[in-house]
Homo-oligomer: A and B are copies of this chain.
């Protein structure tokens, strides 16, 4: 959390446009018929870096630096990813972690904590990332004053409900690992397309280990499948860049 202002400038390239962000409904000034009212400065902090690169240099206390929020902690703020990627996970009893999702730019983190006022997972930055932070208590206070803001919050939650539903639908009940991976690749590409301007190319900052963990398959299986997909001209991997070559074939695979 150090060197904030500097970092922002250095990595300003990959930030999502505010218009494409799920938080947008509550980040814009409210404009009624004649007048405009900007309450956002009361609850919004824009583009806060959540630096994970820094962590690797000092191998002590790696986690605290990069952790955005922690499971079971009381809800203080909800976040929108500005840049980078976050992984959401919970701890298994045996000490291992179970990854339950990823969040890309424009997507929300922590909004499901509103119901019970506590977070339901850990969120950690993968690589250099940043978020916009909305203090929920302050947002609520403003909502009492401005009904339009409440209406916007409803829109935000409705969109989020839709997104969650969609993301789950794509992954539930896939029998073969092929269809599971195909569905996953299509899903992240679809989500990527909403903030990046490329619909087929994405930077895979997520490690194979994490993807395998999320999908519930082994690293080795994932590696073999990716090779197979590449041989079959479905995808192309160069370094960290992943390109979808045949969306149709992947789609066909994914519905098995």
Which B residues lie within 8 Å of A151 (CB)? 143, 150
- Mark the stretch among A33-41, A153-161, A185-193, A194-202 that contacts chain B: A153-161
Nearest Cβ distance between residue A249 and chain B, in whole angstroms?
A: 13
The answer to whether B255 touches A216 (Cβ under 8 A) is no
Is A165 interfacial (CB 8 A cutoff)? yes
Given contacts A120-B166, A172-B216, A214-B173, contact A159 B92 (CB under 8 A): no
Inter-chain contact B100/A162, CB cutoff 8 Å: no
A121 within 8 A of B: yes
* Contact residues of A between 87 and 120, Cβ < 8 Å to B: 90, 92-94, 98-101, 111-116, 120
Q: Given contacts A166-B120, A255-B92, A255-B93, is CB(A100)–CB(B172) below 8 Å? A: yes
Contact of A173 among B111, B154, B175, B216 (CB under 8 A): B216
Asked if A237 lies at the interface with its beta carbon under 8 angstroms from chain B, I say no
Most chain B CB inside 10 Å of its own CB: which residue of A93, A114, A157, A174: A157
Nearest 8 CB-CB pairings of A with B: A173-B216, A157-B157, A115-B162, A114-B158, A112-B165, A115-B158, A112-B161, A150-B150
